[in-house]
């Protein structure tokens, strides 16, 4: 996970809409020594061996199968759904995907840098659950329990995409 680090969410990031007082949004970034398009990043991210483990879990646990071909169609802008997600918003340099429950989202963005380099961003957003009786918003005990794993996994996913793009 060399080079992957947590960072501030860019002001223009589509993920900003999930950054609320009760909600959660994080952001990780890494740089790569080549020009990378959003389509290349999306395809690389969702077809890494690490992400394929998540895809297998989603196929089994949520009945949301997916394939590398579908990931590439998503990357090309020819598909609006992939595994457990649907495209919530897309711009030339970023994409925001919301899951089928409406509680979590994933965000990817590319930022061209000087000398043919690219900064790759990955972040997640989580919407708090509102208690029907009290009206109080809470992230819940599962969020607290899994936050450490989430941070490690997010960094590993971005590092895996970086590695794939360097080939």
Residue closest to 110 by CA, chosen among 162, 164, 153, 69 = 162
pLDDT tens, position by position, 4-56: 999 999 999 999 998 876 788 999 999 999 999 999 999 999 999 999 999 99
pLDDT tens, position by position, 94-140: 999 999 988 889 999 999 999 999 999 999 998 877 777 877 776 67
Q: What are phi and psi of 105, to 5 degrees?
A: -145, 160
What contacts 24+ positions apart, CB below 8 Å, involve 124-127? 124/15, 124/24, 124/25, 124/26, 124/150, 124/154, 125/15, 125/17, 125/18, 125/19, 125/23, 125/24, 125/25, 126/18, 126/23, 126/24, 126/25, 127/18, 127/23, 127/102, 127/103
Instruction: Report the pLDDT value the prediction gives residue 39, as an integer from 0 to 100.
Output: 98
β-bridge partners, 111: 119
pLDDT tens, position by position, 74-85: 999 999 999 999
Instruction: Report the pLDDT value the prediction gives residue 10, as an integer from 0 to 100.
Output: 97
The domain over range 5-165 is classified in CATH as 3.30.530: yes
pTM reported for the whole predicted model? 0.92
């Amino acid at each position: 996970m060399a080079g992957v680090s947590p960072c501030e969410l860019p002001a223009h990031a589509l993920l900003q809409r999930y950054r609320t007082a009760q909600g959660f949004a994080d952001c990780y970034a890494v740089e790569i020594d080549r020009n990378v398009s959003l389509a290349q990043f999306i395809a690389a991210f969702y077809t890494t061996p690490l992400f394929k483990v998540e895809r297998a879990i989603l196929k089994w646990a949520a009945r949301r199968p997916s394939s590398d071909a579908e990931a590439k169609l998503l990357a090309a802008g020819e598909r609006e759904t992939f595994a457990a997600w649907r495209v919530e918003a897309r711009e030339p340099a970023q994409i925001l995907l919301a899951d089928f429950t409406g509680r979590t989202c994933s965000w990817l963005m590319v930022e061209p840098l000087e000398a043919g380099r690219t900064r790759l961003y990955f972040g997640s957003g989580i919407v708090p659950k509102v208690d029907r009786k009290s009206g109080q918003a809470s992230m819940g005990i599962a969020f607290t329990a899994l936050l450490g794993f989430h941070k490690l996994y997010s960094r590993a996913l971005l590092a895996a995409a970086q590695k794939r793009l360097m080939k």
